[in-house]
Each structure stands twice: as C-alpha cells, then as structure tokens.
C-alpha cells in the first residue's frame, strides 16, 4: 500500500465564513495601511529605478562603514549609501559592502574616473578591499524602467480579469482581481515598511505572485462552479464552504511544498537573490490567504447566477470532468 502524506484530512468541515467580517476587515485594513506606508515612507528604489551606480566590495577585514563614508565624502558625489551585507553563507573572513551613488548630473552612466576615484579612496582606508562588481543605470533608463514595470503589473492584472470573466462570470473576475490587488499592495507595503531594496527583481516576484495567487483562486472557483450545479438549492455560503474544504488539502500541500523551497533559498541563497525570494515567500502566504478569505467573500457579496436549467453532474464525477 502506497504511503500518502496528508497534512489535512480528506474530509474537513471548517466554517471559513465564521469570522467573515473580521477576516475581510483585516484584509481591508492591511491594504489601507500598506497604501499609506507606500505614500508616506516611499520605497527604497534600487539603482534600476533610481539611476546611479552600485559598487560591491569585498574584504578580509571588518568593515567600518563610518570610515568608508568619510573616505568618499571629499569626492562630492551627492547621495551616497553604504551598507554592510550580512549573510550566513559568508566565510568568517568575508566582509561585503554595497555602495550606492546617485546618478551624476549630465552623465548617463558612471564614468571610469568616478569608479577609479572611489576605489582609490576606499583602498586608502582598507588596502585589502576588492571591487567585485560595478552596475550603472542612467536617469533616463531608470524612468523608462519604472513605466515599463507598472505597465507589466497592470497589464497582467487586466489580462487575468478578462480571462476569469470569460471562463466564469464577472463576479468571479472582480473577486479574483480584488485578491490580486490585495496581494500586490500588501507585498509592496512590506517593502515600504522595512525599506527593503525595490528593484526589477521584485517586479518579477510580483508578477510571479500574481500567477501563483490566481492559480489557487481558479482551483477554488472551479470547484465552486461544479458544486453550484450539484447543490442547486443549497445556500451560496454553504456551497462556498464545501468548495474550499474540498480543495483545502491541495492548497495546503501546494503552498507548503513551495514554502519549503523558498525558505531554504531565503536562508541559504545569498544576499543577491534574498529580496526576490523574500517577496515570493511573503507573496505565497498572502496569496493563499486571499484565495480563501478575500476572493470568495467578494463573490458572496456580489452573488452568482445559479441557473436551475443547467444539468447536474453525473454521480461520481469529480474535478474538471464535472464541468459541462
């Protein structure tokens, strides 16, 4: 007999609408707070969106951020941010720093003289320092990247709205898009709260979150559509509860296995991909929550067309086989 891991029993009877007002109000509050954080605190844009130069340094001696800052101050480079990078995978004698320099007026990218001057200034403080990478983005390019990133997120959301509208009904589309707006806003709000670097890799993470979240939502909606045909006179609230319970095992297993991989990358993947992986990890958690507690609540409020003329599925039919 094959061994099957079950994190959730096959037949559950959780009442997901028991605290309906509380869960929906909590989600609305999260979206509102996140929007305020984005508006008030702003995002810590990376070089991709802000323009400028990022220099990554490595040394075998302990980094003195104050000494680094004093060394580059006479160069009059404007806004200069120096941060030490901590990573559990680094060796004991490996110390990494990231130096971000604002875009210089009249220059589309960092000039060789600028990079050489910074290197000379830092070597005067720490002769063991090495420069492993230099990245430059001009102000014009960074502005275009912001517009393209926003278009990518809005375009993906609009395409999902259209797809759900065609596959189900407009009420499902509104519920799905509300869940996606919730996921993206709360994820970006976390980046604003902790002032984590927001660059193109985070946009890629947001688009991935959209796909992951809508996949989970569609699974619940598909089962709901099947059950609406099967239980013609049962109240919509009860049919929704049955549908979520029937897909709960799949939801927990999918999200759980995804989180195992993401948390492993978050701990051991290194600082280069940490922002992307953090956004994905948080997005999976929020996306799973919104599929259960946001999307279906919107559909319940709007109601659905329950056509009694639709034929009931054949006995024993399950999954997509039950869809006419």
Kindly list the domain boundaries of the chain, sorted by start residue: 20-44+142-322, 52-137
Tens-place pLDDT, residues 113-133: 888 888 888 888 888 898 888
Say if residues 298 and 224 touch (Cβ distance below 8 Å). no
pLDDT reading at 322 higher than 50: no
**Residue 35 — pLDDT band, cuts 50, 70, 90?**
very high
Q: What is the mean pLDDT of residues 132-136?
A: 82
Which pLDDT band holds residue 51 (cuts at 50, 70, 90)?
confident
Residue 187 has pLDDT above 90, yes or no: yes
Angle between helices 295-302 and 170-194 (to 10 degrees): 140
Local confidence band at 281 (pLDDT 50, 70, 90 cut-offs): very high
**What pLDDT digit, counting tens, does each position of 66-116 carry?**
888 888 888 888 777 788 888 777 888 888 888 888 777 666 566 778 888
Whether the predicted pLDDT of 243 surpasses 60: yes
Which segment, 101-105, 227-231, 260-264, is predicted with the most confidence on average? 260-264
Q: How many CB atoms lie within 10 A of CB 121?
A: 16
Looking at CATH, the fold of the domain delimited by 52-137 is given as Alpha-Beta Plaits (3.30.70)
Tokens standing for residue 89 = 């995978």
213 pLDDT band (50/70/90 cuts)?
confident
Q: Distance between CA atoms of 99 and 55, rounded to whole angstroms?
A: 5
| Per-residue CA distances from 200 to 12, 115, 165, 203, 275 (Å) | 41, 23, 30, 5, 10
Helix, strand or coil, per DSSP, at residue 179: helix
Residue in 245, 297, 247 with CA at minimum distance from that of residue 13: 245
More confident residue, 4 or 182: 182
Question: Tell me, what DSSP letter sits at residue 320?
Answer: G
- pLDDT for the residue numbered 321: 41
Question: pLDDT confidence of 317, banded at 50, 70, 90?
Answer: very low
Angstrom CA distances, 181 to 145, 226, 236, stand at 21, 26, 24
CA geometry: angle at 7 spanning 2 and 11, to 5°? 90
320 pLDDT above the threshold of 60: no
Give the pLDDT of residue 191.
94
DSSP letter string, 194-228: HT-EE-HHHHHHHHHHHHHHHHHHHHHHHHHHHHH
Q: How far apart are CA 127 and CA 216, in angstroms?
A: 53
Q: Residues for the chain: how many in total?
A: 324
Residue 10's contacts (CB-CB under 8 Å, 6 or more residues apart) are: 249
- Dump pLDDT digits (tens) for 189-209: 999 999 888 888 898 899 889
Strand partners, 133: 56
pTM of the predicted structure, to 2 decimals:
0.74
Q: Where are the alpha helices (DSSP H) in 126-169?
A: 139-167
Across 40-66, average pLDDT: 84
CB 187 within 8 A of CB 282: yes
Q: What mean pLDDT is predicted for residues 251-276?
A: 87
* Plot region of 195 (φ>0 → left; ψ -120 to 50 → alpha; else → beta): left
Percent of the chain with pLDDT over 90: 19
Options 3.30.390.50, 1.20.1640.10, 3.30.420.480, 3.40.50.2300; CATH for 20-44+142-322 is 1.20.1640.10
């Amino acid at each position: 007999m094959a061994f099957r891991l079950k994190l959730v029993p096959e037949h559950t009877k959780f009442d997901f609408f028991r605290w309906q007002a509380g869960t929906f109000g909590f989600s609305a509050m999260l979206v509102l707070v996140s929007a305020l954080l984005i508006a008030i605190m702003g995002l810590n844009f990376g070089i991709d969106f802000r323009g400028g130069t990022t220099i990554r340094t490595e040394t075998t001696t302990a980094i003195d951020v104050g000494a680094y800052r004093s060394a580059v101050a006479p160069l009059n480079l404007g806004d200069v941010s120096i941060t030490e990078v901590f990573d559990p995978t680094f060796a004991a004698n490996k110390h990494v720093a990231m130096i971000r320099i604002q875009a210089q007026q009249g220059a589309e990218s960092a000039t060789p003289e600028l990079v050489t001057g910074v290197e000379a200034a830092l070597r005067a403080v720490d002769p063991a320092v090495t420069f492993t990478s230099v990245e430059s983005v001009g102000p014009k390019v960074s502005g275009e990247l912001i517009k393209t990133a926003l278009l990518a997120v809005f375009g993906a959301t609009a395409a999902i709205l259209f797809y759900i509208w065609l596959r189900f009904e407009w009420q499902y589309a509104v519920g799905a898009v509300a869940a996606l707006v919730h996921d993206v806003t709360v994820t970006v709000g976390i980046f604003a709260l902790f002032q984590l670097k927001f660059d193109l890799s985070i946009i890629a993470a947001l688009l991935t979150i959209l796909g992951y979240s809508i996949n989970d939502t569609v699974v619940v909606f598909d089962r709901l559509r099947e059950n609406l045909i099967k239980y013609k006179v049962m109240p919509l609230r009860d049919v929704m509860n049955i549908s979520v319970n029937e897909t709960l095992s799949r939801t927990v297993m999918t999200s759980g296995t995804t989180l195992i991989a993401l948390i492993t990358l978050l701990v051991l993947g290194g600082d280069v991909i940490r922002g992307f992986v953090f956004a994905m990890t948080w997005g999976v958690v929020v996306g799973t929550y919104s599929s259960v507690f946001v999307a279906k609540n919107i559909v319940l409020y709007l109601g659905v067309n329950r056509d009694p003329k639709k034929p009931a599925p054949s006995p024993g039919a399950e999954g997509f086989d039950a869809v006419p």
